[in-house]
Amino acid sequence: MLSVEEARARILAALSPVGTEWVSLAEAWGRVLAEDVTARHDKPPADVSSMDGYAVRAADCTLPPCRLRVVGSAPAGHPFAGRIGPGEAVRVFTGSVIPDGADSVVIQEDTDLGETAVEVRVTAASGRHIRRRGGDFAAGTVLLRAPRRLTVRDVGLAAAADRPWLRVHRRPRVAILSTGDEVARPGDPIPEGGIVSSNALALAALVRACGAEPIDLGIAPDDMDAIARLVRAPHGADLIVTSGGASVGAHDLIQASLQPEGLELAFWKIAMRPGKPFLFGHVRGTPLLGLPGNPVSALVCGLLFLAPALDRLSGLPGEPPAPEFARAGADLPANDLRADHLRARLERDGDGAWIATPFPAQDSSQMRIFAEAEALILRPPHAPPVRAGEPVPILRLGLRGY
Ligand code: AMP
Ligand code: MG
């Protein structure tokens, strides 16, 4: 059995980023940048005032109080046309261009707010309350480096850089196939002894949360031809994801049915719980992740393997999810050879540190507990016992919407 880390490394090594497209900045949030973004202009474009007040010559206000002649008013967007001479001031506001000749701004609270003449009650220091041209960034500066998943702040920065179109990776397309005679779509009639399929919709949601586009291949019965036909159907996917049928039972048909389709199996079975029966390979050049059918197993594999794989296809390195640390909320026994992922509740102790307490039930079919869980406690293979209060690595759930 492969370790989680080795399996993930092999998946990532086998994937390469999809192509790129231009998107309007209005559609760019969450997309992965494929080309650096450089500033088109200086920001601010000129020296501007950071306060409401008066632009003055510092040399005129060395011994307060001093009286200056107000020779104009220059609200933001309406620069003063002339030049300030000795003994003169111009009314300015936040964002006003500093008039030629001025080298300081006196805030209005330090004046008598005069309209034709103003009394300044403080010493004016050269450069005070002035935002220098290019002080945020200069034209030509690389502001955002590819690859990078664009945040809300990045969108604001690209807009400020006057870049209304960005080159990004297109969204990877992910074909999702459920298998099993017993599973029915939510809302459809349920066969006798059947269950409602939750995996396809949950995986589609995970795919969307990772910025990719799900394609629903439907449900294949436990029949080799049906599985092969659905996987073979033209879907233009960059990645195929199946759920169920990945185990060793007589009805676990993913491998058997895809062998005649040219399945090149890279590996099967991971030393982890939940989610041992997981496979990875290629079918006619398209990578395929075969997830277990149990819903918690399917989604834990989704988190550990599918999400990084989607990042990689999207142009990012596909970093593994970064563990944080919490104090164990209960004693934990020694672990066996499979990396364990315990569904846990999180709370803060008096010092604000996380305490992670595993739910007593950890069955891989229990979706309610999984949805309630706020973290997975990571128990590496052969981890020694842990006493309540000792630190354990956790993966927090719900952060990217999953
Ligand atoms: P399998 O991996 O096919 O042996 O399935 C393991 C368990 O997961 C069985 O109890 C299945 O009924 C269940 N299962 C399989 N596919 C789904 C699905 N799409 N949604 C919910 N449960 C499923
Ligand atoms: Mg099955």
Q: Is the CB of 274 under 6 A from ligand 1?
A: no
- The yes-or-no verdict on residue 250 having pLDDT over 90 is no
Which CATH architecture describes the domain 4-17+171-313? 3-Layer(aba) Sandwich (3.40)
What are 208-221's pLDDT values in tens digits? Answer: 999 999 999 999 99
Q: What was the pLDDT predicted at 321?
A: 85
State which ligand 1 atom lies nearest to the alpha carbon of 246: 2
Nearest ligand for residue 195 CA: 1
Q: What are the sequence ranges of the domains in the chain?
A: 4-17+171-313, 20-41+148-169, 48-131, 324-396
Q: Is the CB of 297 under 6 A from ligand 1?
A: no
Q: What was the pLDDT predicted at 252?
A: 80
Which residue of 179, 195, 367 sits with most ligand 1 atoms within 8 Å of its CB, as the best mutation to test the pocket? 195
Just give the CATH number of 48-131: 2.170.190.11
What are 190-199's pLDDT values in tens digits? Answer: 999 999 999 9
Q: Is the CB of 244 under 6 A from ligand 1?
A: yes
- The yes-or-no verdict on residue 6 having pLDDT over 90 is yes
Contact 219, 201 (CB under 8 A): no
Q: Is the CB of 293 under 6 A from ligand 1?
A: yes
- The yes-or-no verdict on residue 249 having pLDDT over 90 is no
Nearest CA to ligand 1 atom 23: 293
- CATH class of segment(s) 324-396: mainly beta
Assess if CATH 3.30.450.40 describes domain 20-41+148-169: no
State pTM to two decimals: 0.94
Q: Is the CB of 243 under 6 A from ligand 1?
A: yes
